[in-house]
Structure 1
Amino acid sequence: MSLAAGWQRREVDGQAQLFLLGDWRVAHLDGLLKRFDWSREGQTCAVIALNELEAGDSATLALLMEWTQVRAAKGVTLQICGMSQPLQDLAALYRLQDMLHICHE
């Protein structure tokens, strides 16, 4: 497993999606978020794709909740797609499935 973390904006079927890459657990988020600017990188995205996320934890879910609330304030429903089963289980433990609008592919 590569622990490098990053992100990529990609067009998928004409829709801007933000792909989270690598390890977005709490131990790595501080440095990562210093480089990430949501208003520039994610503001036009309606989908966050976690297909390439190698690791996530409760800090990852907290960040996804914040981004969901930011988009909801602008009237946009942010979809979270490609979430691993362990992260889905953690979201279920905290009862966040509905708030996060998790896609079940």
Structure 2
Amino acid sequence: METLNYRFEQGRRSLSAEPRIVGVVSSGNLEVLIESTPLDGACEVGIQTAAVGFGPIWQAVISDFQERWQLADTRIAINDMGATPAVVSLRLDQAVEEMLGEAK
């Protein structure tokens, strides 16, 4: 297992809804827990992954996600069992969209 942590400062979009879990931890998939929490405008992403040695790919996927959403005061925990970058992006977008849907 490998643990990766990322922090993005000065986000612009805050989420105000109950925490959400999307996806399942199984072969080729992942689970995303997203929650609103005071982080001085930052977004923190913590990843536990069975696929060791893919830090640069994770960095690219998570950076792209944050560029799209510009999240602030948000913590995301990812439990991964070998999901492809496309699945990671899909689950992250799904988590944010569910939070935004509840806030309406």
TM score, norm. by length of structure 1: 0.29
Higher relative contact order (CA 8 A, sep 6+): 2
More helix, by proportion = 1
The structure with the greater share of residues assigned to strand is 2
